[in-house]
Amino acid sequence: MYRQWWLIIHGRNPMVSPRMRLIIDNDFSGDPDDLFQLVHHVLSPSVEIRGIIGSHLSPDDPFDPSDVQAENAVRVAEETLGLMGMSDRFPVWLGSNLALSSPVSAIDSEAARNIVAEAMREDTDLPLYLALGAGLTELASAYLLEPGIAERLTAIWIGGNEHPELASPPPGASPIEYNLNIDLLAAQIVFNDSSIPLWQVPRDRYRQCLVSRAELEARVRPMGAVGEHLAGAVDRVGHRAEAWGRPLGETYALGDSPLVLLTALQSAFEPDSSSSRHITKPTPWLDSDGSYREMAATRPLRVYTDLDTRLMFEDLFLKLKLFAES
């Protein structure tokens, strides 16, 4: 049984083959929720991962206050793949260490160039998704390098403030949501200037993605080296939070995991993220304070209003188990 599942996980069973191409873009030297997303995606055979981007955080971010955050993100991603015996399976591309400084000038990074190259391919009919768990520097730069990518991919982004008609900010929330604040200018390019199809999981929804410490102890940590790696990363955040006098309590938000739910775990028939709910609205104008200005007759924006956390986390836990037992 486990051998059969191992073949399925690696996509060698014809019953589970890729239905889409995927580029993953995340700040892997930051919050470890991105590591859970990375591991989950590479264990999902219905996506053909074309590349993994290590991208930057905000300057002086407590998770990584260095000036080489993208380089550190590449290193962390490669270490995680190495623990899984997949060091040579997926290319890991370096993003920019800096946010954009001009609305018309791209940062010509390895990652941005590879987004363009993958989007402009003519030799495949598989749709291309960008799974974005951090800022939008690389997507915005790729668009500035080649605006034609807008017609050739779908971007799924974990980030952005609450839409006022749908949800309120949490108590004590930052005025500008964390991922949006990484590169606000890049987000403005994507929202205001581009025609890129965008699926957004804003702050109110990714905060829904809670796992308990009991789940981490029982269903993640025992699952071999990669399970210990993931649980240990959360432990380190917990120790740091305790030292700051801000204990985490019994839950942790794996806020990047919807990137897997909305791609690999789409429905079998009429493929879509049918187990989660969303609304479609005209894309609002994104202002410099992170707020939205409602617009009419703009391209449609998909905003998620409820996420199927049961499917998302059960699939993660069981794939970790099957991988550990293979």
Q: Convert the pLDDT of each residue in 17-27 to its tens digit.
A: 899 999 999 99
Q: What is the pLDDT of residue 246?
A: 92
Q: For 266, left (φ over 0), alpha (ψ -120 to 50), or beta?
A: beta
The predicted structure's pLDDT at residue 130: 98
How confident is the model over 139-156, as pLDDT tens digits? 999 999 999 999 999 999
Residue 101 has pLDDT above 80, yes or no: yes
Q: Give the domains, in start order, of the chain with CATH numbers.
A: 11-210+255-311 (3.90.245.10)
pTM: 0.95
Per-residue pLDDT band for 16 (boundaries 50, 70, 90) equals confident
Give the model confidence (pLDDT) of 206-219 as tens digits: 999 999 999 999 99
Q: Within the chain, where are the H helices?
A: 2-9, 33-42, 69-83, 110-119, 137-145, 178-182, 184-188, 203-206, 213-219, 224-243, 258-261, 309-325
* Angstrom distance (rounded) from CA 3 to CA 58: 43
Residue 85 has pLDDT above 70, yes or no: yes
Which of 163, 71, 61, 149 lies closest to 110, judged by CA? 71
What's the CA gap between 112 and 95, in Å, rounded? 7
Instruction: Find tokens 């025609």 and name the residue.
Output: 195
H-helix or E-strand containing 277?
Answer: strand 277-282
Residue 67 has what DSSP assignment?
A: S
pLDDT for res 13:
61
* DSSP conformation letters of 92-135: EEE--SS----SS-----HHHHHHHHHHT--S--S-EEEEE-S-
- Residue 15, pLDDT > 90, answer no
Question: What per-residue confidence (pLDDT) applies to 299?
Answer: 97
Helix (DSSP H) and strand (DSSP E) numbers for the chain = 12, 12
- Can you tell me the distance from the alpha carbon of 221 to that of 209, in angstroms, rounded to the nearest whole number? 19
